[in-house]
Structure 1
Amino acid sequence: MRNLPKAFIVISGALLIFACGWLTPRFEFVRALMATVLFGLPFVVACVTLSRNKPIKWHEYICFAGATLVIQGLMIALVCNWFNLGLDKKIQFERNFNVFRARLKENPEYGKIESYYEPRKGGHVTLKGEVKDKESFDRLTLLLQGFLLCQDVGIGYGDLVEYPGKPKRDNKL
């Protein structure tokens, strides 16, 4: 009977590492750690139970198993809620946008272009800066549109990019 908590500790530790590893690429490390800590509560209880020198009673096993199932159910509900909210897609978009921004900076034609992402209200990407001519502006617009079309979230965009000869907007209402 004494080996049952030891086996649970080994299995729980392996599941904790797997859960954190699986959640981290989808929801960032902090959220993955939060869910893993919730999942790790039975692990801590098993370590405390094993550390005492008294024999473990059957009702303790039953209570422990019930608590473990409830906590695992809560963790599954939490992660499903994150998926329903679309957090995985938003985080993936932010990662892809950072790569897009870095590639713009590497290109000498667009080195002076600043790009911003505002996640509120569905998301909005803004480009600001100056390019040398209309063809560069058109290529930049196509790059941005192509990037946004490849993403799985509906994001709008606006441009504050200037080039010689660009018509000025009339801001009067």
Structure 2
Amino acid sequence: GRVAFAGSVVPRDYDWRSRIDNGQVKAVRNYVGSADLVVGIFPCFLELCGSRELGSAGFNGFTQQEGKDLEVKYIPGDHWCAINPRNFGSIIDFLLRGVATLASEYYTNSQPTWAVLLSRLCWLVWIVIVLGVLVVGWWLGTGPWGWAALAVYIGLLLVILRTV
């Protein structure tokens, strides 16, 4: 069948060629968000670290030609931009009929410079997040509740990390 992505966290170098050659997939359509920072920062960083499970195709697009053939660069907006009534016809046409249509008014030729910059500096965003978590922990640990507050904070962080 046909595969359509919107806000994809699939690695950019995913091997679509083998999926098409063995008959699992007929065609791929990737709607790339112009400012999808959810994908441009978080999975992008994991991809830079060597992850084979998560990647930035929803922000940067695929690298293999089979993934790029019907790719839409760019749908204007954030992580949910392709799931918009203005784009439903395009998704339906592709999935049901194999036709690659696109509403011309719902398309942009480029990504904002600030979004591209944040994605390229995704490692710095992660450093800032980690430092923020550490500063809050230090602040709680040195506050009036001391170790008890720090223990609760660490417990909450562990619960959050186990649910992600």
TM-score, normalized by length of structure 1? 0.29
Rg: which structure is higher? Answer: 1
Q: Which has the higher contact order (CA 8 A, sep 6+)?
A: 2
TM-score, normalized by length of structure 2? 0.30
